[in-house]
Structure 1
Amino acid sequence: MNVYIFQSVPDRFDLETELVKNKKDTWYATRYRKKMKVGDYVFFWMAGPDERKGVYGWGVIDSDPYIKDDWNSYGVDVTYKEKFGERLSKSMLQGDAILKNILLFRAPQATNFLLSEEEAKALINLTKSRGENPPVIGA
């Protein structure tokens, strides 16, 4: 099982309003699409101004990537499983010894970011420490 971060920008897709628990949606699958599988977990990150940057929740991939004709690109279906009461801010992630070096911070010009097992565990632990309900890996 893989764990990803999918990135949006508020002027195109505002996670504060669009991420709704149990809602189904489609996201671009531009990178790592050959690795994406049904059941993989996704954390949803919003870029933009620092006061809005952060992880807003998580979900599950519901389809293999497919060509989405009206996008002229690949998409992947997801279901939002949790919307956090308070986002995990950029500074929270950067304060973690492991998460401070994730690809999202080193090369943020993409939609999809694959986390290593160590990074995924660190993000899940940070989620728990903030009193949020993270996905369960390896259960």
Structure 2
Amino acid sequence: MAGFAAVLIVALAGSSRADGPVEILRQVRVPDHTIIAIRFDHASGTASRVVMDEASGKVLHEHTYAGRPQSSSQEFQDAVCIIGSHSGLRSLIAAGAVAEGGFIVDGPSGHPASHRYIQIRLLSPDRQHLLQVALIDLTARMVASARSSFE
């Protein structure tokens, strides 16, 4: 398993964009001794599917992802932490609001289109009422918008 982690480090270090973080969204170890990873480059705003040799870490194939890959559990957790540090939303979390959702969406008007955004819905503790819908900019690590009035 140590070789597996080393391959991912090599793959990240070998990224074509050294000026911004590349996040591994998910990875799968394949029986043919390769690793398939879906990653998002926050500097360029692009996602890619990468096939790497498990032993050497050499990138065998890289393909730009056509759409937006679904969110990872780490992205969801990061978004909830960002909400928890937001002055207007932290009280909801402290009062027991439940975070759900995690869909990757377009950002609000006026925000960079190349950033990665995740939608989080905050529900009442009994999950009966929608309290807020927040769009989190995962690239800038901030709440891009939050709304509580629903039509």
Q: Under TM normalisation by the shorter chain, which class is it? A: under 0.3
Q: TM-score, normalised by structure 1?
A: 0.26
Q: TM-score, normalised by structure 2?
A: 0.25
- The structure that has the greater radius of gyration is 2
Q: Give the strand-richer structure, 1 or 2.
A: 2
